[in-house]
Amino acid sequence: MIRFLLFLTALLIIVLSNSCATITKQERYTTKIQSDNVDAKLLYNDQLYQLPTQIDVKRSKEDLELILVSDSLKKKFLIKSRLSPTFLYGNLALLYAAPVGYLIDLTNQKRFYYGDVINLNFNANESNISESSNINLLDIIKSIRPEDAVGYKNKFNINLSFPWVNWFRTITDGRMIRKEFGFLGVGLGVNYFYKNNYFIEFQTSTITSYFLPVPAPMLIDGNYAIFSNNIISLTNNYLKSFISLGYGIQSSWHTWKYFFKTDSTTTIEDRIIRKNASLGFEFNFYFQPLKDVFLGIVYRPSIYTVAPYTKFTYQYSISLDMKLKFNIF
């Protein structure tokens, strides 16, 4: 059952992290309309706009109809839809799962756009406008960066976290220091922006020291140990210019399992289990490469053990984490 859940976790990571346009782009976006004709205005959806202006458009494979008007002239333009750089290049971030990302993006129209700036002029030779298909490196960078890396007051998000690489320092029997390194984990949380750029986050996580970076079954010849921590945390965080910093408190339930063979001539295993619960702090640092994707490191030092005994002890976990955030409202 555990192996099956780990497999589903890895599959979810591949699907979500590689459908680049689906994750990072909204169904609607804002584009700028401008004209070299001084007195020209834009007629769009039966509304008249002074130029230059910005309008909210829906991503679609269909042409976008815009009308340029003045006191004596009126001209209709059809803006050709094209594939966004996010769809063309963003899915290549993780090459091994790029086909999955492209397939996900092909199920919706978020892969299309009409450009960030549209120029309309009465003296244009054609009414059908198609922006240049040449995409430079700057276009790619702009397309995969967050559309808005600044938080909004009173905004709620649900977080799905995948701590991929983990380091452990655990105390067993009140005195034995045990260290381990491994892979895999999952977390679920919610955050709330109480100010612009400031948010509190509540999260529950499970991290493990699984031997492989992917959830695959394996046979181990010999004795081995598995570490796991179940964690509840509450942090205060600051988000600015694609960087997020956070600090807070956490409670961890540490589990150390040691598996060994009762007889060297058999494959029958027995195990020793040691558990304790502790209180401590959490510090995190994240970089935001995409609108809803955060990559970072989380350090959780525990300083006081509360069960099965009470004692000041230093335990910790360090995780390299990928976090996906989904806006609720």
pLDDT digits (tens, 9 = 90+) for 123-143: 766 555 545 444 444 555 555
Residue 198 has pLDDT above 90, yes or no: yes
- How confident is the model at residue 328, as a pLDDT? 82
Query: Which structure tokens are listed for 302?
Result: 């525990």
Is cis: bond before 215, omega within 30 of 0?
no
Where in the sequence is the domain holding 313, given as residue range(s)?
150-327
SS3 132: coil
Higher-confidence residue of 298 and 91: namely: 298
With respect to residue 206, please indicate whether it lies within any of the assigned structural domains. Answer: yes
Of 110, 144, 178, the position where a domain reaches its end is 144
Q: Is the pLDDT of residue 266 over 70?
A: no
Domain identity same for 119 and 261: no
In a domain, 6, yes or no: no
φ/ψ of 101, rounded to 5, equals -60, -45
Q: Percentage helix, strand, coil, to 5, in the chain?
A: 15, 55, 30
Distance CA 37, CA 223 (A): 79
- Is 219 domain-assigned? yes
Q: Is the pLDDT of residue 236 over 90?
A: yes
Same-domain status, 36 and 110:
yes
Angle value at C-alpha 55, between 51 and 61, nearest 5 degrees = 125
Max CA distance (Å), the chain: 97
**CATH number where 319 lies:** 2.40.160.20
* 210 vs 250 pLDDT, higher one: 250
Q: Are the C-beta atoms of residues 145 and 138 closer than 8 Å to each other?
A: no
| Residue owning tokens 């967050």 | 146
Q: In this predicted model, what pLDDT tens digit does every residue of 282-292 receive, in sequence order?
A: 999 998 877 78
Name the strands in the sheet holding 64-69, side by side, starting at the edge strand that comes first in the sequence.
47-50, 41-44, 64-69, 74-79, 128-129
pLDDT of residue 170: 92
* Segment 166-181 mean pLDDT: 89
Residue 14 lies in a domain: no
10-24, 159-173, 302-316: range with lowest mean pLDDT: 10-24
Number of domains in the chain: 2
Which pLDDT tens digit goes with each residue over 52-77? Answer: 889 888 888 888 888 888 887 888 88
| Number of CB atoms found within 10 A of residue 270's CB | 10
Mean of per-residue pLDDT scores for the chain: 78
The verdict on 122 and 155 lying in the same domain is no
Q: Are residues 129 and 154 in the same domain?
A: no
Residues 6 or more apart in contact with residue 322 via CB below 8 angstroms: 13, 17, 161, 162, 164, 293, 294, 295
For residues 129 and 219, membership in a common domain is answered with no
Considering the domain architecture, whether residues 293 and 166 belong to the same structural domain is answered as: yes
